[in-house]
Amino acid sequence: MSEKVVLAYSGGLDTSVAIRWLNEKYGYDVVAVTIDVGSEKDSSAVKEKALQVGAVKAIVVDAKKAFVDDYIFAALKAGAIYENTYPMATALARPLIAKILTDVALEEGAVAIAHGCTGKGNDQVRFEVAINALAPNMKILAPAREWGMTREETIQYAERYGIPVPVKSGHAYSVDENIWGRSVECGILEDPWAEPPAEVYIWAKSPTDAPDMPAYCEITFEKGVPIALDGKAMDGLELINTLHEIAGTHGVGRIDHVENRLVGIKSREIYEAPAALTLLAAHQALEDLTLAKDQARFKLKVTQEFSDIIYNGLWFTANRVDLSAYVDSTQRLVSGTVRIKFSKGNCIVVGRRSPHSLYAHNLATYEKGDQFDQSSAAGFIYIFGLPVKTQAQLQPIFDNTSEKKDEGSGK
């Protein structure tokens, strides 16, 4: 009996060729595992194709709920966004996929796990580092990195073995898609000066085509997790999909980013993430209301670190676990409702309220009922400004401080 390899199978050309190649080159029996994290592909057709192409077994795992609850919402609570721009749909799904691959590999007694990533991207790193953490002794194979075939040669290989080649659509984009967003690269997008053609975007309308009439929606959070839309309780998946629809219709969610890859190259990628951008903005607004200034300032540093951890494939590390514990603690009172206005490509927070709000009207108001003791401000400023005043007197650096000093000493 041949040894088994578990392959992350998407149904695309590379992973289909990989099934054949792993068998031909190393004599492995391939168990194809397709993990559904919310792409629009038909998983039963993907499973059929795996078997047809030569897998000894094909498994489809619906991981949508785990993806939302354990990864997407963990990232949302942390405010995670890479280089302040990319909500990391692709990056976030990788550790979950790696976990499922590892579980299946151990169950099946497989000797290795294989993935279809090339040697230039972040995803190979994310898969392999996650597998290293979950099954440190597991062998990992990356056929597409090893076989050294060009795209044309891969197609010829596929044709030789009767592997169906997806009809060429004319534009050669590479697309990764899941619940949290779409990632699109290659083709004309490799020119960072070229405006993305309209066909690149599927989820978010062009702001110019968005309805003139704005739409409003209220998002309710419980401990940092969104639980209702317009007062209607929803599970995470339904809530995200509903937001994709509303925000996308109003032209919210298009992202055009030249990012710094972990493997040292800058790359240009187009993202669509209508729900992610909306939820990140709403969540931030609720934190603005419920976290104290020092909490918010410190959390920002954790946000930055957490974002890099996700992007760099370090989900399954002690450092990430520790930071998640910190993030969860910050979310204790991040409950309440945020009101959003969608209009012509904009997603604007226009209202927020929380039973744990730190906003005190009697302190903030300029109207009747003001309880802020303005006379205390003078003493506060005296002490707060004291080191500035002292330094200006003793070490003048601004024109007028030195002039004053010269005038004074000249007399």
- Residue 184 near ligand ARG by CB under 6 A: yes
The least CB distance from residue 37 to ligand ARG, in Å, is 13
CB of residue 259 to ligand ARG, shortest distance in Å: 6
Contacting range for ligand ARG; rule: CB under 6 A; set: 104-112, 180-188, 280-288, 372-380:
180-188
Q: What are all long-range contacts of 258-261, with beta carbons under 8 Å and residues at least 24 apart?
A: 258/192, 259/82, 259/83, 259/85, 259/86, 260/83, 261/121, 261/122
Q: Which stretch binds ligand ARG (CB under 6 A): 61-69, 146-154, 172-180, 281-289?
A: 172-180
Q: 3-state SS string over the chain?
A: CCCEEEEECCCCHHHHHHHHHHHHHHCCEEEEEEEECCCCCCHHHHHHHHHHHCCCEEEEEECHHHHHHHHHHHHHHHCCCECCCECCHHHHHHHHHHHHHHHHHHHHCCCEEECCCCCCCCHHHHHHHHHHHHCCCCEEECHHHHCCCCHHHHHHHHHHCCCCCCCCCCCCCEEEEECCEEEEECHHHHCCCCCCCHHHCCCCCCHHHCCCCCEEEEEEEECCEEEEECCEECCHHHHHHHHHHHHHHCCCCEEEEEEECCCCCEEEEEEECHHHHHHHHHHHHHHHHHCCHHHHHHHHHHHHHHHHHHHCCCCCCHHHHHHHHHHHHHCCCCCEEEEEEEECCEEEEEEEECCCCCCCHHHHCCCCCCCCCCHHHHHHHHHHCHHHHHHHHHCCCCHHHHHHHHHHHHC
- Residue 123 among the catalytic residues: yes
176 part of the interface to ligand ARG, by CB under 6 A: yes
Under 8 Å between Cβ of 274 and 285: no
Scanning 61-69, 127-135, 176-184, 350-358 for contacts with ligand ARG by CB under 6 A, the matching segment is 176-184
Catalytic residue list contains 288: no
Parallel/antiparallel/unpaired status of strands 29-36 and 57-62: parallel
Considering only residues 230 through 269, tell me which ones interact with ligand ARG, judged by CB under 6 A.
269
Judged by CB under 6 A, the residue of 53, 91, 291, 333 near ligand ARG is: 91
Active-site choice (36, 69, 103, 174): 174
Catalytic residue among 16, 20, 39, 94: 94
Distance of closest approach, residue 263 Cβ to ligand ARG, in angstroms:
9
- Cβ closer to ligand ARG: 265 or 381? 265
Residue closer to ligand ARG by CB (options 15, 183) is 183
**Residue 174 is among the residues annotated as catalytic for this protein:** yes
Asked whether position 122 contacts ligand ARG by CB under 6 A, the answer is yes
**How many CB atoms are located within 10 Å of the residue 131 CB?**
23
Q: Is 128 in the site for ligand ARG (CB under 6 A)?
A: no
Tell whether residue 218 is a contact of ligand ARG (CB under 6 A). Answer: no
124 binds ligand ARG (CB under 6 A): no
Considering only 43, 52, 85, 174, the residue that binds ligand ARG (CB under 6 A) is 174
Active site residue 94: yes
* Residue 305 is a binding residue for ligand ARG (CB under 6 A): no
Please report whether residue 90 would count as binding ligand ARG according to CB under 6 A: yes
Q: Is 85 in the site for ligand ARG (CB under 6 A)?
A: no
CB of 117 to ligand ARG, least distance (A): 9
The minimum distance between CB 343 and ligand ARG, in angstroms, equals: 29
The single residue among 23, 39, 178, 183 that binds ligand ARG, judged by CB under 6 A, is 183
Q: Report, in Å, the least distance between residue 52 CB and ligand ARG.
A: 24
Identify the residue among 66, 106, 175, 349 touching ligand ARG (CB under 6 A).
175
Could you give the residue numbers annotated as active site? Answer: 14, 94, 123, 174
Name the residues that contact ligand ARG, by CB under 6 A.
90-91, 122, 174-176, 183-185, 269
